[in-house]
Amino acid sequence: VPMGVLSCMKYLMFTFNVLVFAGGTCLVGVGVWVAVDPAGFQDIVAAKPVLSAGAYLLLAVGIALSLLGFLGCCGALRRSRPLLLA
- Which pLDDT score is estimated for 4? 86
Contact 78, 14 (CB under 8 A): no
28 vs 86, which has greater pLDDT? 28
Confidence category of residue 61, pLDDT binned at 50, 70, 90: very high
Whether the predicted pLDDT of 16 surpasses 70: yes
Confidence category of residue 45, pLDDT binned at 50, 70, 90: low
Residues 6+ apart with CB under 8 A from 63: 24, 28
What pTM, to 2 d.p., does this model score?
0.81
Cα separation, 69 vs 16, in Å, equals: 8
Helices (H), the chain: 3-36, 38-42, 51-78, 81-85
Confidence category of residue 79, pLDDT binned at 50, 70, 90: confident
- Which pLDDT score is estimated for 49? 66
All structural domains of the chain with their residue ranges: 35-68
81 by Cβ neighbours in 10 Å (0-12 / 13-18 / 19+) ranks as: exposed
Amino acid at 71: L
